[in-house]
Amino acid sequence: MGIAVCVVTFNVEKVRGMIGGAIILTLFAAFWSIIALANWVARPSWTIPAAILATIALLAMSASRISATRGIESLDDPIAEAQGKRAGMLFGIIFSVEGVIIFLCSIVLANEHLEIWIPIGIALIVGVHFLPLARVFEVPLYYGTGVFCVLGVLGCALIGDPGLRLLSAGLTMAVVLWGSVILILFQTRNIPQSRNLTRVEW
């Protein structure tokens, strides 16, 4: 029986796009972790500085990857350019729909006096939005990001204590997003030095 291998094929434009996504994921992971830790009454003093250091480290590595692509000629491909514009438009639509759903979810929960569940609802919506993004940006890793976010938050929702539940959900989101960033940086470790496509197996 052979070993399953995931093959990712991309050029410098896709590398830049993936790393740009990694930067966004890093910032949102920092948001989830710091908010969760800030509301943890018994948190150790080192936890928030550790989250900040992790964020800085991942941003620095992402910036280094972006810097490594400078001077590399971009692919002059009208079809790829059109696909990029389409992906940008679809991202805008997905992001807008996500925002509307989060807004409506927050209103419904607040009206039902279930404000404590709003962060859980937001986390689930954020997790689900990675599923269409995986197809739009052709980044299969996002399927895993979405699934682990949703399953992790659903597991946290079973915790009876509200404070522990919110802490667990926030840290779960942060860990999944940071983990996704690390995998993206691993996938893009071999920067293509030309317009040619690069295959990465992992």
Mean pLDDT of the chain: 85
The β-bridge relationship of strands 198-201 and 7-10 is antiparallel
pLDDT at 78: 64
Question: pLDDT tens across 168-185, in order?
Answer: 999 999 999 999 999 999
Asked if pLDDT for residue 5 goes beyond 60, the answer is no
Provide mean pLDDT across the span 147-175: 95
Question: pLDDT tens across 7-32, in order?
Answer: 445 567 778 888 999 999 999 999 99
pLDDT at 14: 78
Please name which of 178, 188, 104, 118 lies closest in space to residue 148, comparing C-alpha atoms.
178
Question: pLDDT tens across 37-55, in order?
Answer: 998 888 899 999 999 999 9
Asked if pLDDT for residue 1 goes beyond 60, the answer is no
Provide mean pLDDT across the span 153-180: 95
Q: pTM for this one?
A: 0.84
The residue ranking higher by pLDDT, 73 or 36, is 36
pLDDT at 137: 87
Helices (H), the chain: 12-38, 47-68, 78-111, 118-136, 141-157, 162-187
3-state SS, one letter per residue, for 9-62: EECHHHHHHHHHHHHHHHHHHHHHHHHHHHCCCCCCCCHHHHHHHHHHHHHHHH
Question: pLDDT tens across 79-127, in order?
Answer: 666 777 788 888 889 999 999 999 999 999 999 999 999 999 999 999 9
pLDDT at 62: 93
Q: How confident is the model at residue 77 (pLDDT cuts 50, 70, 90)?
A: low
Percent pLDDT > 90 in the chain is: 62
Distances (CA, A) of 52 to 3, 6, 25, 58, 59: 38, 32, 14, 10, 11
Give bridge partners of residue 199 from the DSSP assignment: 9
